[in-house]
Amino acid sequence: MRTLRTDRLSLRPWEPEDANFVYDLYSRWEVQRFIGLVPRMMEDRSEADRLIAKCRELNHSVHGFWAVERLEDARLVGTILLKGIPASGEPPLQPSGETEIGWHFHPDFWGNGYATEAASAVLAHGFREGLHRVIAATSAENSASQNVCRRIGMKHQGTTNSYYNANCELFLAEDVAP
Ligand SMILES: CC(C)(COP(=O)(O)OP(=O)(O)OC[C@H]1O[C@@H](n2cnc3c(N)ncnc32)[C@H](O)[C@@H]1OP(=O)(O)O)[C@@H](O)C(=O)NCCC(=O)NCCS
- Domain of 153, CATH number, reads 3.40.630.30
Residues with CB under 6 Å of ligand 1 are 31, 34-35, 102-105, 110-116, 138, 142, 144-145, 148, 151
Please compute the mean of the pLDDT values over residues 105-129 and round it to a whole number: 98
Cα 112 to ligand 1 centroid, rounded to whole Å: 7
- Pocket probe for ligand 1: among 42, 105, 160, the residue whose CB has the most ligand atoms within 8 Å is 105
What is the predicted pLDDT for the residue at 11?
98
Stated as kind and residue range, the H or E segment containing 173 is: strand 168-174
Q: Which domain holds residue 93?
A: 4-174
Mean pLDDT across the chain, nearest whole number?
96
* Model pTM above 0.85: yes
Model pLDDT for residues 26-62, shown as the tens digit of each residue: 999 999 999 988 899 999 999 999 999 999 998 888 9
Model pLDDT for residues 67-85, shown as the tens digit of each residue: 999 999 999 999 999 999 9
Q: Residue 105 in contact with residue 141, Cβ under 8 Å?
A: no
Sequence-distant contacts of 141-147: CB under 8 A, at least 24 apart: 141/34, 142/34, 142/169, 144/110, 145/34, 145/103, 146/171
Q: Considering its fold, how many domains does the chain have in total?
A: 1
Please compute the mean of the pLDDT values over residues 61-67 and round it to a whole number: 95
CA-based torsion, 8, 13, 19, 25: positive or negative: positive
Split at pLDDT 50, 70, 90, the class of 176 is confident
